[in-house]
Structure 1
Amino acid sequence: MGTRHAPRIAIITMGQAPRPDVLPELLALLGDVRYDEFGALDGVSDAIIAERAPRADELSFLTRLRDGTHVILEAGFVTRQTEALVEAVDGQGYDLLILAMTGLMARPQTRTPLVHGQYTLDAWISALATGNSRIGIIYPLTSQRSAFSDNDYGTLLQSSHATIGGHHGAHLADAIDRVSGADLIVMNSVGYTAEMAQQVARTSGKPVVTACRIIASTARLRLAEIAGKPLDLPAKTYTGVELLKRLSPAGEPLTRRESEVLVHALEGAANKFIGRTLGISHRTVEIHRSRAMLKLGATSAAELIWRALTQPER
Protein backbone atom coordinates (compact mmCIF):
# COMPACT_ATOMS: atom_id res chain seq x y z
CA MET A 1 0.00 0.00 0.00
CA GLY A 2 1.46 3.38 -1.04
CA THR A 3 2.35 6.11 1.41
CA ARG A 4 -0.11 8.98 1.49
CA HIS A 5 1.61 12.32 0.88
CA ALA A 6 0.38 15.62 2.33
CA PRO A 7 -1.03 17.87 -0.42
CA ARG A 8 1.18 20.70 -1.62
CA ILE A 9 -0.43 24.14 -1.77
CA ALA A 10 0.57 27.70 -2.67
CA ILE A 11 -0.88 30.44 -0.47
CA ILE A 12 -0.90 33.83 -2.21
CA THR A 13 -1.53 36.98 -0.20
CA MET A 14 -1.97 40.59 -1.25
CA GLY A 15 0.97 42.08 0.64
CA GLN A 16 4.41 40.73 1.42
CA ALA A 17 5.25 37.33 2.85
CA PRO A 18 5.41 36.18 5.55
CA ARG A 19 1.94 37.04 6.89
CA PRO A 20 1.82 35.96 10.56
CA ASP A 21 -1.63 37.61 10.81
CA VAL A 22 -3.06 35.28 8.14
CA LEU A 23 -1.18 31.97 7.89
CA PRO A 24 -1.82 30.54 11.40
CA GLU A 25 -5.60 30.81 10.99
CA LEU A 26 -5.53 29.29 7.52
CA LEU A 27 -3.22 26.42 8.44
CA ALA A 28 -5.19 25.57 11.58
CA LEU A 29 -8.12 24.60 9.35
CA LEU A 30 -6.18 23.18 6.42
CA GLY A 31 -4.63 20.41 8.50
CA ASP A 32 -1.72 18.29 7.22
CA VAL A 33 -0.43 20.17 4.16
CA ARG A 34 2.85 21.25 2.70
CA TYR A 35 2.71 24.88 1.70
CA ASP A 36 4.66 27.76 0.22
CA GLU A 37 3.68 31.35 0.89
CA PHE A 38 3.90 34.13 -1.69
CA GLY A 39 3.06 37.82 -1.46
CA ALA A 40 1.98 39.90 -4.44
CA LEU A 41 4.32 42.67 -3.26
CA ASP A 42 7.33 40.47 -2.60
CA GLY A 43 10.39 42.13 -4.11
CA VAL A 44 8.61 45.44 -4.74
CA SER A 45 10.71 48.34 -3.49
CA ASP A 46 9.55 50.90 -0.94
CA ALA A 47 9.88 53.59 -3.59
CA ILE A 48 7.48 51.86 -5.98
CA ILE A 49 5.04 51.15 -3.15
CA ALA A 50 5.10 54.84 -2.22
CA GLU A 51 4.38 55.79 -5.84
CA ARG A 52 1.31 53.53 -5.94
CA ALA A 53 -0.75 55.34 -3.33
CA PRO A 54 -4.33 55.81 -4.61
CA ARG A 55 -5.74 59.12 -5.76
CA ALA A 56 -8.94 60.57 -4.29
CA ASP A 57 -11.76 57.98 -4.39
CA GLU A 58 -9.88 55.49 -6.54
CA LEU A 59 -10.51 51.83 -5.65
CA SER A 60 -7.75 50.78 -3.29
CA PHE A 61 -6.58 47.93 -1.07
CA LEU A 62 -5.12 47.94 2.40
CA THR A 63 -2.46 45.31 3.00
CA ARG A 64 0.46 44.40 5.23
CA LEU A 65 4.16 44.58 4.42
CA ARG A 66 6.89 42.27 5.68
CA ASP A 67 7.87 44.66 8.50
CA GLY A 68 4.33 44.69 9.87
CA THR A 69 3.32 48.11 8.57
CA HIS A 70 0.12 48.60 6.58
CA VAL A 71 -0.14 50.45 3.29
CA ILE A 72 -3.00 51.55 1.04
CA LEU A 73 -2.34 50.99 -2.66
CA GLU A 74 -4.24 51.51 -5.89
CA ALA A 75 -6.22 48.39 -6.75
CA GLY A 76 -5.04 48.20 -10.35
CA PHE A 77 -1.39 47.89 -9.35
CA VAL A 78 -2.11 45.18 -6.77
CA THR A 79 -4.28 43.30 -9.25
CA ARG A 80 -1.54 43.27 -11.90
CA GLN A 81 1.03 42.11 -9.36
CA THR A 82 -1.28 39.32 -8.19
CA GLU A 83 -2.10 38.12 -11.70
CA ALA A 84 1.60 37.97 -12.60
CA LEU A 85 2.36 36.02 -9.43
CA VAL A 86 -0.46 33.51 -10.03
CA GLU A 87 0.81 32.96 -13.57
CA ALA A 88 4.34 32.34 -12.26
CA VAL A 89 3.20 29.90 -9.55
CA ASP A 90 0.71 28.00 -11.70
CA GLY A 91 2.13 24.80 -13.15
CA GLN A 92 4.80 24.37 -10.47
CA GLY A 93 3.34 21.12 -9.21
CA TYR A 94 0.97 22.44 -6.54
CA ASP A 95 -2.23 20.58 -5.79
CA LEU A 96 -4.09 23.79 -4.99
CA LEU A 97 -3.59 27.56 -5.23
CA ILE A 98 -5.25 29.73 -2.58
CA LEU A 99 -5.79 33.44 -3.18
CA ALA A 100 -5.89 34.39 0.50
CA MET A 101 -7.22 37.88 -0.09
CA THR A 102 -10.49 39.74 -0.52
CA GLY A 103 -11.40 42.59 -2.83
CA LEU A 104 -9.69 41.20 -5.92
CA MET A 105 -12.30 40.93 -8.68
CA ALA A 106 -10.04 39.64 -11.46
CA ARG A 107 -10.43 35.90 -12.04
CA PRO A 108 -7.08 34.38 -13.08
CA GLN A 109 -7.27 31.39 -15.41
CA THR A 110 -5.13 28.57 -14.02
CA ARG A 111 -4.34 24.95 -14.80
CA THR A 112 -4.05 24.23 -11.09
CA PRO A 113 -7.27 24.18 -8.98
CA LEU A 114 -7.77 27.64 -7.46
CA VAL A 115 -9.64 28.92 -4.40
CA HIS A 116 -10.40 32.59 -5.10
CA GLY A 117 -10.87 34.45 -1.81
CA GLN A 118 -13.36 37.10 -2.93
CA TYR A 119 -15.53 34.81 -5.06
CA THR A 120 -15.56 32.25 -2.26
CA LEU A 121 -16.79 34.95 0.12
CA ASP A 122 -19.40 36.17 -2.37
CA ALA A 123 -20.80 32.66 -2.83
CA TRP A 124 -20.89 32.02 0.91
CA ILE A 125 -22.74 35.27 1.69
CA SER A 126 -25.16 34.85 -1.20
CA ALA A 127 -26.07 31.38 0.05
CA LEU A 128 -26.94 32.77 3.49
CA ALA A 129 -28.64 36.02 2.54
CA THR A 130 -32.14 34.73 1.81
CA GLY A 131 -35.52 36.14 2.74
CA ASN A 132 -35.21 38.74 5.47
CA SER A 133 -31.66 37.80 6.49
CA ARG A 134 -29.54 40.77 7.47
CA ILE A 135 -25.84 40.37 6.82
CA GLY A 136 -23.42 42.84 8.40
CA ILE A 137 -20.16 43.26 6.49
CA ILE A 138 -17.11 45.04 7.86
CA TYR A 139 -14.84 46.25 5.06
CA PRO A 140 -11.29 47.57 5.40
CA LEU A 141 -11.79 50.70 3.27
CA THR A 142 -14.63 52.93 2.09
CA SER A 143 -13.71 52.42 -1.57
CA GLN A 144 -14.09 48.66 -1.19
CA ARG A 145 -17.49 49.11 0.36
CA SER A 146 -18.78 51.12 -2.60
CA ALA A 147 -17.30 48.64 -5.08
CA PHE A 148 -19.23 45.71 -3.61
CA SER A 149 -22.50 47.46 -2.77
CA ASP A 150 -24.06 46.37 -6.08
CA ASN A 151 -23.88 42.67 -5.18
CA ASP A 152 -27.34 41.20 -4.63
CA TYR A 153 -27.03 40.08 -1.01
CA GLY A 154 -30.48 41.18 0.12
CA THR A 155 -30.26 43.41 3.17
CA LEU A 156 -26.71 44.56 3.90
CA LEU A 157 -25.56 46.55 6.90
CA GLN A 158 -22.09 47.75 5.96
CA SER A 159 -19.25 49.50 7.74
CA SER A 160 -15.94 50.61 6.33
CA HIS A 161 -14.62 52.24 9.48
CA ALA A 162 -12.64 49.35 10.90
CA THR A 163 -9.33 50.43 9.40
CA ILE A 164 -9.51 54.18 9.02
CA GLY A 165 -6.68 54.54 11.52
CA GLY A 166 -4.30 52.73 9.14
CA HIS A 167 -4.48 49.17 10.43
CA HIS A 168 -7.10 46.51 10.92
CA GLY A 169 -7.72 47.15 14.61
CA ALA A 170 -8.49 50.87 14.43
CA HIS A 171 -12.05 52.10 15.00
CA LEU A 172 -13.34 48.55 15.40
CA ALA A 173 -15.85 49.62 18.05
CA ASP A 174 -17.43 52.06 15.60
CA ALA A 175 -17.61 49.34 12.94
CA ILE A 176 -19.38 47.02 15.37
CA ASP A 177 -21.97 49.66 16.19
CA ARG A 178 -22.77 50.15 12.51
CA VAL A 179 -23.51 46.46 11.87
CA SER A 180 -24.95 45.44 15.24
CA GLY A 181 -28.46 45.12 13.78
CA ALA A 182 -27.40 42.23 11.54
CA ASP A 183 -28.24 38.56 12.06
CA LEU A 184 -24.69 37.58 11.07
CA ILE A 185 -21.51 39.65 10.75
CA VAL A 186 -18.84 38.91 8.13
CA MET A 187 -15.37 40.44 8.55
CA ASN A 188 -14.35 40.93 4.93
CA SER A 189 -10.55 40.95 5.07
CA VAL A 190 -8.00 38.22 5.75
CA GLY A 191 -6.29 40.70 8.06
CA TYR A 192 -9.17 40.48 10.54
CA THR A 193 -8.00 37.89 13.06
CA ALA A 194 -9.89 35.39 15.22
CA GLU A 195 -9.22 37.64 18.22
CA MET A 196 -10.88 40.56 16.44
CA ALA A 197 -13.83 38.34 15.53
CA GLN A 198 -14.20 37.35 19.18
CA GLN A 199 -14.23 41.02 20.15
CA VAL A 200 -16.94 41.77 17.60
CA ALA A 201 -18.98 38.76 18.77
CA ARG A 202 -18.71 39.74 22.45
CA THR A 203 -19.67 43.34 21.80
CA SER A 204 -22.45 42.75 19.28
CA GLY A 205 -23.84 39.50 20.69
CA LYS A 206 -24.08 38.23 17.11
CA PRO A 207 -22.38 35.34 15.27
CA VAL A 208 -19.25 36.46 13.46
CA VAL A 209 -17.20 34.80 10.73
CA THR A 210 -13.88 35.91 9.25
CA ALA A 211 -12.79 35.80 5.62
CA CYS A 212 -9.88 33.56 6.66
CA ARG A 213 -12.20 30.92 8.06
CA ILE A 214 -14.44 30.93 4.98
CA ILE A 215 -11.48 30.68 2.59
CA ALA A 216 -9.75 27.95 4.61
CA SER A 217 -12.94 25.90 4.92
CA THR A 218 -13.48 26.08 1.16
CA ALA A 219 -9.87 25.07 0.56
CA ARG A 220 -10.34 22.01 2.78
CA LEU A 221 -13.30 20.94 0.70
CA ARG A 222 -11.32 21.39 -2.51
CA LEU A 223 -8.42 19.36 -1.11
CA ALA A 224 -10.83 16.58 -0.17
CA GLU A 225 -12.26 16.61 -3.70
CA ILE A 226 -8.77 16.50 -5.22
CA ALA A 227 -7.82 13.57 -2.98
CA GLY A 228 -11.08 11.80 -3.86
CA LYS A 229 -12.01 11.20 -0.23
CA PRO A 230 -14.66 12.59 2.12
CA LEU A 231 -13.70 15.42 4.42
CA ASP A 232 -13.18 14.02 7.90
CA LEU A 233 -14.85 16.55 10.16
CA PRO A 234 -16.26 15.83 13.61
CA ALA A 235 -19.94 16.69 13.77
CA LYS A 236 -22.75 16.58 16.27
CA THR A 237 -26.44 17.01 15.54
CA TYR A 238 -28.65 18.84 18.04
CA THR A 239 -32.42 18.68 18.27
CA GLY A 240 -34.46 21.81 18.86
CA VAL A 241 -35.09 20.65 22.45
CA GLU A 242 -31.35 20.29 23.07
CA LEU A 243 -30.61 23.69 21.58
CA LEU A 244 -33.30 25.34 23.70
CA LYS A 245 -31.87 23.75 26.85
CA ARG A 246 -28.42 25.16 26.03
CA LEU A 247 -29.74 28.72 25.82
CA SER A 248 -29.44 31.03 28.82
CA PRO A 249 -32.86 31.39 30.53
CA ALA A 250 -35.02 34.26 29.31
CA GLY A 251 -35.66 37.20 31.63
CA GLU A 252 -39.36 36.32 31.47
CA PRO A 253 -40.03 32.55 31.27
CA LEU A 254 -41.30 31.18 27.98
CA THR A 255 -44.82 29.75 27.93
CA ARG A 256 -45.32 26.10 27.00
CA ARG A 257 -46.57 27.07 23.54
CA GLU A 258 -43.72 29.54 22.96
CA SER A 259 -41.24 26.80 23.82
CA GLU A 260 -42.93 24.34 21.46
CA VAL A 261 -42.85 26.83 18.61
CA LEU A 262 -39.22 27.73 19.30
CA VAL A 263 -38.12 24.08 19.35
CA HIS A 264 -39.42 23.65 15.80
CA ALA A 265 -37.97 27.01 14.69
CA LEU A 266 -34.53 25.98 15.96
CA GLU A 267 -34.77 22.90 13.74
CA GLY A 268 -35.36 25.13 10.72
CA ALA A 269 -39.11 24.61 10.34
CA ALA A 270 -41.19 27.26 8.58
CA ASN A 271 -44.16 28.84 10.35
CA LYS A 272 -46.75 27.01 8.21
CA PHE A 273 -45.14 23.64 8.97
CA ILE A 274 -45.02 24.46 12.69
CA GLY A 275 -48.68 25.44 12.58
CA ARG A 276 -49.70 22.17 10.93
CA THR A 277 -47.62 20.17 13.41
CA LEU A 278 -49.06 21.91 16.48
CA GLY A 279 -52.60 22.27 15.11
CA ILE A 280 -52.61 26.08 15.17
CA SER A 281 -52.64 28.76 12.47
CA HIS A 282 -49.39 30.07 11.03
CA ARG A 283 -50.42 33.54 12.27
CA THR A 284 -50.61 32.18 15.82
CA VAL A 285 -47.18 30.64 15.30
CA GLU A 286 -45.84 34.06 14.27
CA ILE A 287 -47.21 35.60 17.47
CA HIS A 288 -45.69 32.95 19.75
CA ARG A 289 -42.42 33.04 17.85
CA SER A 290 -42.08 36.83 18.02
CA ARG A 291 -42.91 36.82 21.76
CA ALA A 292 -40.30 34.13 22.42
CA MET A 293 -37.70 36.06 20.42
CA LEU A 294 -38.50 39.23 22.34
CA LYS A 295 -38.09 37.46 25.69
CA LEU A 296 -34.75 36.03 24.60
CA GLY A 297 -33.55 39.31 23.09
CA ALA A 298 -32.94 37.77 19.66
CA THR A 299 -33.93 38.68 16.11
CA SER A 300 -33.60 35.31 14.36
CA ALA A 301 -33.41 31.57 14.90
CA ALA A 302 -29.88 31.66 13.46
CA GLU A 303 -28.80 33.98 16.27
CA LEU A 304 -30.31 31.64 18.89
CA ILE A 305 -28.60 28.61 17.35
CA TRP A 306 -25.25 30.41 17.46
CA ARG A 307 -25.82 31.38 21.10
CA ALA A 308 -26.76 27.81 22.00
CA LEU A 309 -23.70 26.30 20.31
CA THR A 310 -21.35 28.72 22.03
CA GLN A 311 -22.73 27.85 25.48
CA PRO A 312 -21.18 25.04 27.54
CA GLU A 313 -23.24 21.91 28.07
CA ARG A 314 -25.72 22.27 30.93
Structure 2
Amino acid sequence: MKVGFITIGQSPRVDVVPEILPYIPGVDVIECGALDGLSMDEIKRLAPREGDYVLVTRLRDGSEVKLSRDKIVKRLQECIDFLESKGVDVIGLLCTGEFPELSSKSAMLIEPSNLLIKLVEAINPKILGVVIPDNAQIDMTKDKWSRCCDKVIVVSFSPYSGDEKELPNVLEPLKDADLIVLDCIGYPARIKYIVKRALNIPVLLPRSVLGKVIAELGE
Protein backbone atom coordinates (compact mmCIF):
# COMPACT_ATOMS: atom_id res chain seq x y z
CA MET A 1 0.00 0.00 0.00
CA LYS A 2 1.16 3.51 -0.82
CA VAL A 3 0.01 6.30 1.50
CA GLY A 4 0.06 10.05 0.98
CA PHE A 5 -0.03 12.57 3.81
CA ILE A 6 -1.04 16.19 3.35
CA THR A 7 -0.18 18.88 5.87
CA ILE A 8 -1.67 22.37 5.84
CA GLY A 9 1.85 23.54 6.71
CA GLN A 10 5.17 22.45 5.21
CA SER A 11 6.28 18.89 4.61
CA PRO A 12 7.82 16.71 5.81
CA ARG A 13 5.94 16.65 9.13
CA VAL A 14 8.72 15.10 11.17
CA ASP A 15 6.70 15.79 14.32
CA VAL A 16 3.63 13.83 13.16
CA VAL A 17 4.34 11.14 10.57
CA PRO A 18 6.90 9.19 12.67
CA GLU A 19 4.17 8.65 15.30
CA ILE A 20 1.78 7.31 12.62
CA LEU A 21 4.24 4.98 10.88
CA PRO A 22 4.28 2.30 13.63
CA TYR A 23 0.60 1.66 12.83
CA ILE A 24 1.37 1.14 9.13
CA PRO A 25 4.77 -0.59 8.95
CA GLY A 26 6.16 -1.35 5.53
CA VAL A 27 4.03 1.10 3.56
CA ASP A 28 5.46 3.63 1.12
CA VAL A 29 4.78 7.20 2.28
CA ILE A 30 4.74 10.41 0.27
CA GLU A 31 4.16 13.80 1.89
CA CYS A 32 2.93 17.09 0.49
CA GLY A 33 2.38 20.43 2.20
CA ALA A 34 0.04 23.29 1.32
CA LEU A 35 2.85 25.74 2.10
CA ASP A 36 5.63 23.87 0.30
CA GLY A 37 7.64 26.14 -1.98
CA LEU A 38 6.21 29.38 -0.58
CA SER A 39 8.28 32.27 0.72
CA MET A 40 7.60 33.74 4.16
CA ASP A 41 5.95 36.75 2.51
CA GLU A 42 3.62 34.44 0.59
CA ILE A 43 2.82 32.52 3.77
CA LYS A 44 2.03 35.74 5.63
CA ARG A 45 -0.55 36.59 2.96
CA LEU A 46 -2.42 33.41 3.94
CA ALA A 47 -2.89 34.63 7.52
CA PRO A 48 -6.47 34.81 8.82
CA ARG A 49 -8.42 38.02 9.12
CA GLU A 50 -11.03 38.69 11.76
CA GLY A 51 -13.92 36.28 11.35
CA ASP A 52 -11.95 33.74 9.29
CA TYR A 53 -11.85 30.02 10.04
CA VAL A 54 -8.46 29.87 11.79
CA LEU A 55 -6.04 26.97 11.40
CA VAL A 56 -2.76 26.52 13.26
CA THR A 57 0.14 24.54 11.82
CA ARG A 58 3.89 24.09 11.76
CA LEU A 59 6.56 25.14 9.30
CA ARG A 60 9.52 22.97 8.40
CA ASP A 61 11.72 24.80 10.91
CA GLY A 62 9.29 23.99 13.73
CA SER A 63 7.78 27.46 14.04
CA GLU A 64 4.03 27.96 14.43
CA VAL A 65 1.92 29.73 11.83
CA LYS A 66 -1.77 30.65 11.63
CA LEU A 67 -3.68 30.34 8.36
CA SER A 68 -7.08 31.15 6.94
CA ARG A 69 -8.79 27.89 5.98
CA ASP A 70 -10.39 29.40 2.89
CA LYS A 71 -7.04 30.66 1.60
CA ILE A 72 -5.42 27.21 1.54
CA VAL A 73 -8.21 24.95 0.26
CA LYS A 74 -7.02 25.31 -3.34
CA ARG A 75 -3.47 24.40 -2.37
CA LEU A 76 -4.68 21.35 -0.44
CA GLN A 77 -6.58 20.13 -3.49
CA GLU A 78 -3.40 20.58 -5.53
CA CYS A 79 -1.63 18.33 -3.01
CA ILE A 80 -4.34 15.71 -3.47
CA ASP A 81 -3.91 15.89 -7.24
CA PHE A 82 -0.13 15.56 -6.86
CA LEU A 83 -0.39 12.51 -4.61
CA GLU A 84 -2.88 10.88 -6.97
CA SER A 85 -0.35 11.32 -9.77
CA LYS A 86 2.12 9.36 -7.63
CA GLY A 87 -0.30 6.45 -7.39
CA VAL A 88 -1.14 6.54 -3.70
CA ASP A 89 -3.93 4.29 -2.46
CA VAL A 90 -4.85 6.33 0.61
CA ILE A 91 -4.51 10.02 1.41
CA GLY A 92 -4.50 11.12 5.05
CA LEU A 93 -5.09 14.77 5.83
CA LEU A 94 -2.85 15.92 8.68
CA CYS A 95 -5.36 18.43 10.02
CA THR A 96 -8.56 18.22 12.06
CA GLY A 97 -10.16 21.18 10.30
CA GLU A 98 -13.23 20.63 8.14
CA PHE A 99 -12.74 20.62 4.37
CA PRO A 100 -15.93 19.46 2.61
CA GLU A 101 -14.64 20.90 -0.70
CA LEU A 102 -11.77 18.44 -0.98
CA SER A 103 -12.09 15.33 -3.12
CA SER A 104 -9.98 12.52 -4.54
CA LYS A 105 -10.70 10.69 -7.77
CA SER A 106 -8.45 7.65 -7.37
CA ALA A 107 -7.49 7.38 -3.69
CA MET A 108 -9.37 7.08 -0.42
CA LEU A 109 -9.29 10.49 1.25
CA ILE A 110 -9.40 10.33 5.05
CA GLU A 111 -10.11 13.47 7.07
CA PRO A 112 -9.51 13.13 10.83
CA SER A 113 -12.29 15.61 11.60
CA ASN A 114 -14.86 13.21 10.14
CA LEU A 115 -13.36 10.25 11.99
CA LEU A 116 -13.37 12.06 15.33
CA ILE A 117 -16.93 13.32 14.97
CA LYS A 118 -18.23 9.83 14.20
CA LEU A 119 -16.25 8.36 17.10
CA VAL A 120 -17.61 10.92 19.54
CA GLU A 121 -21.15 10.35 18.27
CA ALA A 122 -20.69 6.62 18.85
CA ILE A 123 -19.28 7.11 22.36
CA ASN A 124 -22.01 9.67 23.14
CA PRO A 125 -20.43 11.50 26.10
CA LYS A 126 -22.62 13.74 28.24
CA ILE A 127 -19.86 16.32 28.55
CA LEU A 128 -17.14 16.64 25.91
CA GLY A 129 -13.87 18.41 26.64
CA VAL A 130 -11.93 19.74 23.65
CA VAL A 131 -8.38 21.06 23.50
CA ILE A 132 -7.47 23.34 20.59
CA PRO A 133 -4.33 25.31 19.66
CA ASP A 134 -5.66 28.88 19.72
CA ASN A 135 -8.31 31.00 21.46
CA ALA A 136 -9.48 32.30 18.07
CA GLN A 137 -10.83 28.80 17.37
CA ILE A 138 -13.05 28.53 20.45
CA ASP A 139 -16.36 29.66 18.94
CA MET A 140 -16.07 27.53 15.79
CA THR A 141 -14.98 24.56 17.90
CA LYS A 142 -18.03 24.83 20.13
CA ASP A 143 -20.22 25.03 17.03
CA LYS A 144 -18.52 21.99 15.49
CA TRP A 145 -18.83 19.73 18.53
CA SER A 146 -22.24 20.89 19.73
CA ARG A 147 -23.66 19.06 16.70
CA CYS A 148 -22.97 15.75 18.44
CA CYS A 149 -22.82 16.65 22.14
CA ASP A 150 -25.14 18.46 24.54
CA LYS A 151 -22.32 20.17 26.45
CA VAL A 152 -18.91 21.13 25.10
CA ILE A 153 -16.11 22.72 27.11
CA VAL A 154 -13.15 24.11 25.14
CA VAL A 155 -9.67 25.17 26.27
CA SER A 156 -6.67 26.20 24.21
CA PHE A 157 -3.08 25.01 24.36
CA SER A 158 -0.72 25.17 21.38
CA PRO A 159 1.12 21.93 20.58
CA TYR A 160 3.80 24.03 18.91
CA SER A 161 4.46 26.90 21.31
CA GLY A 162 2.70 25.99 24.57
CA ASP A 163 4.56 25.42 27.84
CA GLU A 164 3.75 21.82 28.81
CA LYS A 165 4.35 22.63 32.49
CA GLU A 166 1.27 24.86 32.31
CA LEU A 167 -0.94 22.27 30.63
CA PRO A 168 -2.43 20.73 33.82
CA ASN A 169 -3.65 24.21 34.85
CA VAL A 170 -5.11 24.82 31.38
CA LEU A 171 -7.02 21.54 31.64
CA GLU A 172 -8.76 22.38 34.92
CA PRO A 173 -12.09 23.44 33.27
CA LEU A 174 -12.31 19.96 31.67
CA LYS A 175 -12.22 18.01 34.93
CA ASP A 176 -15.93 17.01 34.73
CA ALA A 177 -15.83 15.89 31.09
CA ASP A 178 -16.56 12.28 30.13
CA LEU A 179 -14.26 12.34 27.10
CA ILE A 180 -11.46 14.59 25.82
CA VAL A 181 -10.67 15.31 22.16
CA LEU A 182 -7.31 16.82 21.28
CA ASP A 183 -8.60 18.69 18.25
CA CYS A 184 -5.38 19.22 16.30
CA ILE A 185 -3.09 16.77 14.51
CA GLY A 186 -0.14 18.58 16.08
CA TYR A 187 -0.72 17.11 19.53
CA PRO A 188 1.77 14.27 20.11
CA ALA A 189 1.21 11.14 22.18
CA ARG A 190 3.21 12.83 24.93
CA ILE A 191 0.47 15.47 25.32
CA LYS A 192 -2.22 12.79 25.41
CA TYR A 193 -0.51 11.11 28.35
CA ILE A 194 -0.15 14.42 30.21
CA VAL A 195 -3.88 15.03 29.75
CA LYS A 196 -4.71 11.48 30.80
CA ARG A 197 -2.60 11.73 33.95
CA ALA A 198 -4.01 15.14 34.87
CA LEU A 199 -7.69 14.26 34.40
CA ASN A 200 -7.97 10.45 34.36
CA ILE A 201 -10.46 10.78 31.49
CA PRO A 202 -10.37 8.94 28.11
CA VAL A 203 -8.56 10.96 25.43
CA LEU A 204 -8.81 10.78 21.62
CA LEU A 205 -5.60 11.62 19.78
CA PRO A 206 -6.17 12.43 16.08
CA ARG A 207 -2.87 11.12 14.71
CA SER A 208 -3.28 7.71 16.33
CA VAL A 209 -6.93 7.49 15.23
CA LEU A 210 -5.83 8.29 11.66
CA GLY A 211 -2.98 5.76 11.78
CA LYS A 212 -5.22 2.97 13.08
CA VAL A 213 -7.86 3.56 10.41
CA ILE A 214 -5.27 3.54 7.62
CA ALA A 215 -3.83 0.33 9.07
CA GLU A 216 -7.29 -1.24 9.00
CA LEU A 217 -7.66 -0.35 5.33
CA GLY A 218 -4.37 -1.99 4.47
CA GLU A 219 -5.02 -5.32 6.16
TM-score (norm 2): 0.89
State the distance in 2 between where 1:168 and 1:80 align.
30
Which amino acid is the alignment partner of residue 213 of structure 2?
T
Say which one has the larger Rg. 1
State the distance in 1 between where 2:170 and 2:127 align.
16
Residue number in structure 1 paired with 2:92: 98
Whether contact under 8 Å (1:169, 1:196) holds in the other structure is no
Quote how far apart the aligned CAs of 1:82 are.
Answer: 0.9
Residue number in structure 1 paired with 2:52: 58
Residue number in structure 2 paired with 1:140: 133
Which amino acid is the alignment partner of residue 142 of structure 2?
S
Counterpart selection for 2:177 from 169, 175, 182: 182
State the distance in 2 between where 1:150 and 1:114 align.
24
Cα deviation code 1:19-43 (max 9, x no counterpart):
1211111112122211111111111
Residues 217/169 of structure 1: CA separation in 2 closer, same or farther (3 Å cut): farther
Which amino acid is the alignment partner of residue 109 of structure 2?
L
Which blocks of at least 5 consecutive residues in structure 2 are unaligned? none
Residue number in structure 2 paired with 1:216: 211
Residue number in structure 2 paired with 1:167: 161
Whether contact under 8 Å (2:46, 2:72) holds in the other structure is no
Any idea what SS the aligned residue of 1:58 has?
A: coil
Residue number in structure 1 paired with 2:8: 14
Which amino acid is the alignment partner of residue 137 of structure 1?
V
Residues 129/179 of structure 1: CA separation in 2 closer, same or farther (3 Å cut): same
Which amino acid is the alignment partner of residue 45 of structure 1?
S
Whether contact under 8 Å (2:7, 2:32) holds in the other structure is yes
Which amino acid is the alignment partner of residue 16 of structure 1?
Q
State the distance in 1 between where 2:29 and 2:169 align.
37
Q: Compare the two structures and name the one with the higher strand fraction.
A: 2
Task: Quote the RMSD (CA, aligned, Å).
Answer: 2.0
Quote how far apart the aligned CAs of 1:200 are.
Answer: 0.8
Matched, 1:126 2:126: no
Matched length: 215
Which amino acid is the alignment partner of residue 147 of structure 1?
M
State the distance in 1 between where 2:67 and 2:75 align.
12
Residues 46/195 of structure 1: CA separation in 2 closer, same or farther (3 Å cut): same
Any idea what SS the aligned residue of 2:193 has?
A: helix
Cα deviation code 1:181-223 (max 9, x no counterpart):
1112111111101111111111112122211111111112222
Any idea what SS the aligned residue of 2:19 has?
A: helix
Greater RCO (CA < 8 Å, at least 6 residues apart)? 2
Quote how far apart the aligned CAs of 1:107 are.
Answer: 4.0
* Percent identity of paired positions between Structure 1 and Structure 2: 26
TM-score (norm 1): 0.63
Quote how far apart the aligned CAs of 1:148 are.
Answer: 3.7
Matched, 1:73 2:67: yes
Counterpart selection for 2:188 from 189, 193, 199: 193
Cα deviation code 1:129-176 (max 9, x no counterpart):
25xx3221112223433224334222343324212x972556533431
Which amino acid is the alignment partner of residue 60 of structure 1?
V
Whether contact under 8 Å (2:142, 2:152) holds in the other structure is no
Any idea what SS the aligned residue of 1:90 has?
A: helix
Residue number in structure 1 paired with 2:26: 32
